Chains A and B, each alone.
Chain A
């Protein structure tokens, strides 16, 4: 084998590098198709789907690499959404809705982009502090602790009325998210997720997921890598939460509780937690199913007859689908595989004859 030839290892690395590129192209094609041919409703659906890609790919950075299921990531979205509301809402609005805000926040009137970045940073900071405690626990116990964290954030947000508005909604957020904004964040998240997965920390974390014995021999390292993944992951979920607020224009704590947790988990499980491509495919598949079911809940006319599913059947069917996937295709639709270009496309001419 000559030195100029690409080694198998390099081929694999190049193939891995094509994954975020291909996923980004997939999402781009999705946005282009919808803006070209779809109506306003489909454009809204596209934005929403891309926000979910941001959330779920962010979630995957932790869950996919560590193998630990977190129930707490919706809480990061919650924190992100409120940080963005605190920094972007008109001061007059804040004076009535959120009278308890400190002066610095009460007077702030930021643009949405820096606000979403700060929202991500705030979520990441919270993840760093709480993760330092939670991630010391073993896998299952850590999952339970993340659930406690979710409930804790929800309890605080639902009762800290002067600052969060309590259970009533905060309204008037600038509706800034278009499919293109969503695409930008989704692609940025995918890039960060694949960079992390290819980093030394990501590799070590996945190795520890696959080999518990080897992992327990280096328990301290595993803890540090978990914490790193948790923090990065929280950043994107925080930003994704901010985007959710600036998509609907209205936020309240219950929008970031069990249903969002469930949706994020369902997407990850359906697509397959083992790969980033799985996370993206899961978002697309479940979003499509949700869209169809929501339309059916509103009522569908078939030959003069209108029939509608009762509200709530969307969750019932998705939960049932999720259980079926776990039983019959436990690794998800993509079964841990990444979408990549074929090997001969990335090796150049010389290796094509191998």
Chain B
């Protein structure tokens, strides 16, 4: 059974159809990049999966459970965690408070402490700044905090929206390096929105290409970067 299944999903804002009949599946432990130009519907797709946006029709399943129609907090508690676009860290809370926010539903305090240790080891700067206001962190540090905050909910599936946005290339390298290491360590399934397909190819994984709300190509990220499928996806006729 696929970890995540998306079936004929559509998202509508008023008259605008942002996502049109998208279907795909993600296997356990897989790393899936979702790429495409601005306005392709990538963020709307993630929003509909995690319950922040209501789908117009279609459904989303995780481990065979239907997620569509559930409140975002219920979806999060089932093991799906979100690292949103723009990071949206709680600037007025301390770094440690940000990390602990998502642990409310976890009963095993020892496991929470272990996870905190894991996150601190992966991102030592977070341990160093544990009691500082999260708003005082740099952009790259905030991205690491957002990833760690999502990890603290003990997810099986993690959605990451544009982790490279607004960061220097060197910092982006670092973010991806740590993210992949954590994925390996925790056996996570990752769905990452990444506008740069070359970046996705460099990191490695499967890639969905979206344009005009539809999936126009699906395959290995490295193959995309080499071939001209990409150019067609950006400039070709979507229908």
The answer to whether any beta carbons of A and B sit under 8 Å apart in the complex is no
